[in-house]
Chains A and B, each alone.
Chain A
Amino acid sequence: MMQGSISNRIRTLRFMNGEMSQAELGQRIGLTRQTIAAIEAGKYSPSLEAAFRIAQVFNVPLGEVFQWDVQATPLKAS
């Protein structure tokens, strides 16, 4: 299975949108401030719907908010 991790640019995007607070972002997409903080810190992966809502708030494509970082897997010796 392909190994990887999800990273995000929510902190940067909040800054670029007038230093929007976590509480305000959460309020606009129906999540709590704590959940936004957990998503930002990479400790909680949001549902696809929540991810699209976040992208919609910042008016950017989903890929600009979340990235899938593929980790290189060592090749097996034959």
Chain B
Amino acid sequence: MSYREKIAWLSLIAMAVAYGPYFTSAAKGPSTWEPLPHLHPLGLFALASIARMLILGAGYLYLRLGSAREERPPLDERDRAIKHRSLSAAYYVLIIGMILVGCFMPFSSTGWTIVNAAIFWIVAAEVVHYSIVVASYRMQASA
């Protein structure tokens, strides 16, 4: 497995570990803690983001220390083609999501539901991006 594929896997795992519990909690509904109603969802989001950064940071460090410099070559034309393809697909996911959130949800939802929907589409775009990177490297890998 190439270094870049490992990084893509790491990013996918960090997304799943950090935002999986966050969206599960968000789906259960808003907190009933009244004095500061925005503190609970904001705190959860901050926790998820910090968890993601910590996983990514530790993972990068582990992969960097565990691989020789030759195993981390600069991007070549195939890497750039994969990056371009994955970012293009992620862009469409993000655009569709933002149109849904920005143009339709204000008529049916409010507050943190809209915010969480926006975060969901950003995460979905990132997941699509890294999934295509992983799939492309897998499909082009030779025995």
Given A32-B2, A34-B2, A50 and B77 contact (CB-CB distance below 8 Å): yes
Instruction: Please choose the segment from B15-23, B48-56, B121-129, B134-142 that sits at the chain A interface, where 4 or more of its residues have CB less than 8 A away.
Output: B134-142
A12 within 8 A of B: no
Size of the B side of the interface (Cβ < 8 Å), in residues, is 12
A21–chain B nearest beta-carbon distance, Å: 12
B73-87: contact bitstring with A at CB < 8 Å (1 yes, 0 no)? 100111100000000
Of A30, A38, A47, A50, the residue contacting B141 (CB under 8 A) is: A38
Interface residues of A (CB under 8 A from B): 26, 30-32, 34-35, 37-38, 40-41, 43-44, 46-47, 50
Beyond A38-B78, A40-B142, A43-B139, 19 additional contacts (C-beta under 8 Å) are: A26-B76, A30-B76, A31-B76, A31-B77, A32-B2, A32-B73, A32-B79, A34-B2, A35-B76, A35-B78, A35-B79, A37-B142, A38-B142, A41-B142, A41-B143, A43-B140, A46-B78, A47-B77, A50-B77
